[in-house]
Structure 1
């Protein structure tokens, strides 16, 4: 019934299935050219008026959008540059377009390099300690150019593929001596990036503590590049990382703040212009902070929703969601494989599917405070339930404390966002009030301490949770059926839910048994270190030659392996750096 009323959603699903089909099958260019002709023929057929075609028009539209997804993904899949001969060590000229997260050794940037006559889309690694790079200069330096390597094993994160989806083929390591020259070809985007960069520097010069400054940069200006690893871990473990990242909540709050101010000055009969100006403002804000993926998704969805309002049509969340997906994926089909894209759209679907049923179990919302409080709780719970399977699939961890943390923190999120926005506005205008800075610093420090306290509740934190595609689909089906149980607690609905839960347990048990029957011996590389591991059943042992970076080895090697191979117990042992070979069951493993 619901799908019959949602043609846009059905067509969006067909379009997405076409993208996934091309991703898996990889049709050739000649086949795609034939598909273009087929799509044109389908368009002509759909345009004809006849009784028979009217009956199958919905099917023809579905096929058309499916093949459209295949065609667009073909043209958005970047070809390899293997034919380009690029010297590994040479002098390059480069410019940056985006700052990335800083590591212990390097500051990372995204940009374009010119090596000889070849332009290379690259990630640049600049040693810490030097001057920060900006967006209004060209830079020249000695560089070491390399291609991202594919992972050794299937359980490791494929960083090369991740960069390829962003049309990046190279990693370039820059020497400390960098020459610069001012650019004379600045675009509007470059000027906006530079102005944002200047505001970030001004924030650094305020008297607030370091963690508060980095929090302010992240929550308003979408710059989380300098946030310390401990703070990021606290947000991840407490399930509040969405609060720190610019998302739909931030855009809605900023839109609402601007709209609230406008309606105080615009007459009632011109109220629609307040909506239009507020939409213009959030798009200007999105351009200012760099049109990040999550920001762009939120702005498109909010704009479509209010276009329905301006056209005096009943706003439909699923229509807005489907149109947003079309606009984003037609611009870049690779966005479908972005984890943020998937989580944000699933969160909206979860709110649509579960929010109203959950509200029926709360007391009557007979005043503004109750309405805000209860809706905040149900919206947060709905979004968490909908994204729960993918969180397990991608990150293999979950904390039950995140539910409580969201109930405590999210109701105050609007006030924090508004206060942070005003602080950023003051800084950008060169206005500094020590009292206001002190109050803001105190509030954020208190907030970070509360979040850290939630993150410290390890008893409710679970990691290394194995999850494959079949298990994810079965959990999604559980969440789908949960709505009917909430709406009507009947025997039929309960039995349907129990059946799917049992199916999930059977699938999971079967996967565990299958994986635990395997034995495996691997030699993995992490930097200059070699890690030798032996898996027997649901146990594994790792021998490490250098334990100085044990934390990183746990994060990038041990935990992903345990999640992929369904390891319940593991131990780590030291191995002498002088050991060059290991003999196990008459097989020699090289460690050098």
Structure 2
């Protein structure tokens, strides 16, 4: 508690959030917790031997209780809206979402009669783009998203609920519009961003360069083709495409460098303040996405320490940033990006310097750039690996090499892309610059595709549960001590934990392989039948044309959840009443 008090208190706060999320305590219990927290807060002003002795424990309980109470207040409740399946709705969009194969998606504020609620609105992909300057009216099929049938499937309904969205509106008819005269400041900024995106669409760059530019600078990945996204995922470079801490730091550093060249050294504090103000304006312009806001808060906290002439403490800055974000919205903790970004920073703090000592001596600027990139990349990937396996069930060994080659050039690409977006925003479109940018991005995408093609180094459907993830984090924690100073005692501790991990993993695998089950999965208007026996499973699909999507949403999650070694896919005639698997007949009635 004495060395990192805020970090420990934030951990207690997070435990309170998890406690409330799991048990869902009601109002009377929350009121009791709130009174208990108030009494603890009062007791901190009372000087007595007993209270002083247990002061650290009381503070931990206080933050634990605050986590419970704030998460109760932040938990969205479904507004009771009475509607018919087909309704005339009036709506305005609040955010553009990633498109599907058939539909464009938007977050919107929808009105039916006198009732207003948040919803996802879906319109046919060929429809005209919606904007923030209009109200829209259309006939829509209104429904509530349902939780999945089985625990291994992604719970899209719960994901929307955490964003206070409880409805979906499907529009197939014509959409009429009316000009708005009540745009807020934020909506005006969003509309300007939308206009810049349209300017990029009308430029002479190739479509892939346009989508890359919109994704890397304006946080718009809504139209990126699936093949490009797959290449970034398989090469472990998806963080490069999404707006993250790297982008914010590079843009901050660019402006800081320019201003320091223009202004005298005595204005250094003013330069920091101006640079911080600019990145916050940039965050507002691109829609205040969760990842960019996290990065801006972390960077702001770090430089505030410098402004008040205190030595920056990375862990203290990390804890304070997390606390600010979670006080604003406790639901942010359940965002995968939140967990991965903070783990990556912690991994850099924990492992970067020990790994750097084993790399060749950095006796010039080029070597410092190269070897720091390698050590930071390895540290971040090691720290986030357990969660990556837990959430995505895939890993590519080529990602380490890909990051080594691509990340050193990311600063140049981000700055070039930022300048390109700036020119587009000003209505300037230079043909020669477009050609150069097009060439660079085309080359970059080809290199990433080349990395993604190493199928033998890419592993998917990796099973991983919470217990295994917890032990893996202990392994990574102990790894530092072996790197810093290798001895028999430390190696023995590390080896015992690794051995325990494999025992645990083998035990879960044996347990799953003893189970036999038949499941009926719903996909659109058809059924998918799975029969599992031991570590083998067979899937019967009615329409093989849907195989790719069924693999993504049903087969792969099932295989990783049930630790299946191999699977088969067969076509199931619509009139089938029985299936045969491993010489055994299964009745589908």
- The normalised TM-score by structure 1 is 0.98
Quote the offset at 1:552 in angstroms.
0.4
- Equivalent residue number for residue 390 of structure 2: 393
> Does the 8 Å CA contact 2:579/2:585 hold for their aligned counterparts?
no
- Equivalent residue number for residue 213 of structure 1: 210
- Equivalent residue number for residue 4 of structure 2: 6
Mapping 1:121-140, distance limit 5 Å: 121-140=118-137
Query: Is 1:151 aligned to residue 122 of structure 2?
Result: no
- Equivalent residue number for residue 111 of structure 1: 108
> Does the 8 Å CA contact 2:578/2:586 hold for their aligned counterparts?
no
- Equivalent residue number for residue 64 of structure 1: 62
Quote the offset at 1:88 in angstroms.
1.2
- Equivalent residue number for residue 459 of structure 2: 462
- Equivalent residue number for residue 35 of structure 2: 37
Distance in 1, Cα, partners of 2:384 & 2:526: 36
Query: 3-state SS of the aligned residue for 1:250?
Result: helix
Distance in 2, Cα, partners of 1:428 & 1:448: 24
Quote the offset at 1:583 in angstroms.
8.8
- Equivalent residue number for residue 162 of structure 1: 159
Query: 3-state SS of the aligned residue for 2:344?
Result: helix
> Does the 8 Å CA contact 2:269/2:307 hold for their aligned counterparts?
yes
Quote the offset at 1:75 in angstroms.
0.8
Distance in 1, Cα, partners of 2:51 & 2:516: 58
- The normalised TM-score by structure 2 is 0.98
Distance in 2, Cα, partners of 1:167 & 1:130: 27
- Equivalent residue number for residue 408 of structure 1: 405
Superimposed CA distance per residue, residues 151-194 of structure 1 (whole angstroms, 9 cap, x where no aligned partner): 01111111100100000000110123001011121101100000
Mapping 1:346-365, distance limit 5 Å: 346-365=343-362
Quote the offset at 1:588 in angstroms.
4.1
- Equivalent residue number for residue 75 of structure 2: 77
Quote the offset at 1:286 in angstroms.
0.3
Quote the offset at 1:38 in angstroms.
1.1
- Equivalent residue number for residue 513 of structure 1: 510
Q: Which residue, out of 272, 276, 281, partners 2:278?
A: 281
Superimposed CA distance per residue, residues 538-588 of structure 1 (whole angstroms, 9 cap, x where no aligned partner): 000011110111100111111100000000100101112343666997864
- Equivalent residue number for residue 237 of structure 1: 234
- Equivalent residue number for residue 588 of structure 2: 589
Distance in 2, Cα, partners of 1:278 & 1:170: 40
Q: Which residue, out of 93, 96, 119, partners 2:90?
A: 93
Quote the offset at 1:364 in angstroms.
2.3
> Does the 8 Å CA contact 2:137/2:177 hold for their aligned counterparts?
yes
Distance in 2, Cα, partners of 1:132 & 1:90: 22
- Equivalent residue number for residue 488 of structure 2: 491
> Does the 8 Å CA contact 1:110/1:124 hold for their aligned counterparts?
yes
Structure 2: any 5+ residue segments left out of the alignment? Answer: none
| Bigger mean CA offset, 193-202 vs 579-588 | 579-588
- Equivalent residue number for residue 25 of structure 2: 27
Query: Is 1:532 aligned to residue 529 of structure 2?
Result: yes
Quote the offset at 1:265 in angstroms.
1.4
Distance in 2, Cα, partners of 1:231 & 1:445: 11
- Equivalent residue number for residue 337 of structure 1: 334
Query: 3-state SS of the aligned residue for 1:548?
Result: helix
| Bigger mean CA offset, 144-153 vs 175-184 | 175-184
Distance in 2, Cα, partners of 1:28 & 1:409: 50
> Does the 8 Å CA contact 1:92/1:143 hold for their aligned counterparts?
yes
> Does the 8 Å CA contact 2:577/2:587 hold for their aligned counterparts?
no
Distance in 1, Cα, partners of 2:22 & 2:460: 30
- Equivalent residue number for residue 427 of structure 2: 430
Quote the offset at 1:373 in angstroms.
1.5
Q: Which residue, out of 411, 417, 422, partners 1:420?
A: 417
Distance in 1, Cα, partners of 2:537 & 2:585: 19
> Does the 8 Å CA contact 2:344/2:384 hold for their aligned counterparts?
yes
> Does the 8 Å CA contact 2:95/2:107 hold for their aligned counterparts?
yes
Q: Which residue, out of 473, 477, 486, partners 2:474?
A: 477
- Equivalent residue number for residue 198 of structure 1: 195
Quote the offset at 1:128 in angstroms.
1.4
Query: 3-state SS of the aligned residue for 1:172?
Result: strand
| Bigger mean CA offset, 207-216 vs 47-56 | 47-56
CA separation of 1:464 and 1:176: change in aligned 2, threshold 3 A: same
> Does the 8 Å CA contact 1:130/1:176 hold for their aligned counterparts?
no
> Does the 8 Å CA contact 1:546/1:577 hold for their aligned counterparts?
no
- Equivalent residue number for residue 558 of structure 1: 555
Distance in 1, Cα, partners of 2:438 & 2:519: 49
Query: 3-state SS of the aligned residue for 1:85?
Result: coil
Q: Which residue, out of 260, 268, 272, partners 1:271?
A: 268
> Does the 8 Å CA contact 1:90/1:143 hold for their aligned counterparts?
yes
Structure 1: any 5+ residue segments left out of the alignment? Answer: none
Q: Which residue, out of 161, 165, 178, partners 1:181?
A: 178
Query: Is 1:442 aligned to residue 477 of structure 2?
Result: no
Superimposed CA distance per residue, residues 339-364 of structure 1 (whole angstroms, 9 cap, x where no aligned partner): 00100010011001000111111222
Query: Is 1:55 aligned to residue 53 of structure 2?
Result: yes
Query: 3-state SS of the aligned residue for 1:143?
Result: strand
> Does the 8 Å CA contact 1:143/1:175 hold for their aligned counterparts?
yes
CA separation of 1:123 and 1:504: change in aligned 2, threshold 3 A: same
Distance in 2, Cα, partners of 1:62 & 1:109: 41
Quote the offset at 1:85 in angstroms.
2.0
> Does the 8 Å CA contact 1:127/1:176 hold for their aligned counterparts?
no
Quote the offset at 1:52 in angstroms.
3.0
Q: CA RMSD in A?
A: 1.3
